[in-house]
Amino acid sequence: LQQRRGLHLSTPAAIQVTVRDALNQALDEELERDERVFLLGEEVAQYDGAYKISRGLWKKYGDKRVIDTPISEMGFAGIAVGAAMVWLRPVCEFMTFNFSMQAIDQVINSAAKTCYMSAGSIAVPIVFRGPNGASAGVAAQHSQCFAAWYGHCPGLKVVSPWSAEDAKGLLKAAIRDDNPVVMLESELLYGVPFEMSEQAQSKEFVIPIGKAKIERQGTHVTLVAHSRPVGHCVEAAAVLSKEGVECEVINLRTIRPMDMETVEASVAKTNHLVTVEGGWPQFGVGAEICARIMEGPAFNYLDAPAVRVTGADVPMPYAKILEDNSIPQVKDIVFAVKKALNI
């Protein structure tokens, strides 16, 4: 009756939230939920974070829970790993994952391998998080994607969010996980607003690590991507839909462990596969997906070879026009789909 009269009961609904605010919300909720959780990294405390991800958390939780560190990735990553070994739950921020190369010994040898080498007696519940891949105008030493690097290593879980819901749900799941988790974010997505459902606004909302999401249903070709390229795939699918081509877009969300069941089921339906990523082609995430499809049952459903869309096989140029041509664009995905479909 109320609806007929144009009246609606006030219930929580979907809202627009930026990826930055979603991450901040996740950190705030987990700091409040578990006193073992703490943040550390360069400028995460008094400056509110280099990208304002930890905005307001130092003032709320104090020096012991939100800790500014010197500019020494190997040092503060080692401190974080040691803290995790005695069952604290550190969230270690790299100002960019390019700087994690300074600490890769701690991430791999100290964090990833310890549970196995101790026969399961020592867990390392730690999250390494920060921006990954290309930003804008920061050139070669600040632009590589580490999804394939860290996805290569047993002992780690690796997640790569796209939307605000991805960011919140995966970060909360990563903090609660008893294994080391690498969370690869995109700086270019931090300020982008996404719709956040009523469910995702809950303090108990988590996204299971290792489960992909179908962002768009389709019947002609499967597009698989992670992080920012998921948005490019959604845009490309909209363009192709006007030409009568319906793309199924899969947001991987997790690089390791990879949800191949969802990918295989989609390929069995569409009979075509295109992978999209910002990283380099050789030994990349797309290469791994293509190999697994070839080795598994979905290979028999392919009507054409799988196609990879990747970053260019060069160190990232500084000049904007060269940078744009080194990163997959919507037009590149459209071209790859038409190649796969032979149209």
| Residue numbers annotated as active site | 73, 142
**Helix or strand (DSSP H, E) at 30:** helix 19-33
| CA 209 – CA 181 distance, rounded (Å) | 10
The CA distance from 190 to 117, in Å, is 37
CA distance 158 to 112: 11
- Between CA 326 and CA 280 the distance in angstroms is 10
- 315 contacts: CB under 8 Å, gap ≥ 6: 140
Biggest alpha carbon–alpha carbon distance for the chain: 67
- Render 256-295 in DSSP notation, one character per residue: ES--HHHHHHHHHHHS-EEEE-SS-STT-HHHHHHHHHHH
Give the tokens for residue 134: 């290309």
Alpha helices in 44-186 (DSSP H): 57-61, 73-85, 104-105, 114-117, 147-151, 164-176
Cα 210 to the center of its chain, rounded Å = 12
For the CA atoms of the chain, what is the radius of gyration?
21
Any idea what DSSP says for residue 98? G
Q: Are 150 and 288 in contact (CB under 8 A)?
A: no
First to last CA, the chain: 53
Task: Tell me the Ramachandran region of residue 32: left when phi exceeds 0, alpha when psi lies from -120 to 50, beta otherwise.
Answer: alpha
Chain centroid, CA 227 distance in Å: 5
Asked if 264 and 296 touch (Cβ cutoff 8 Å), the reply is yes
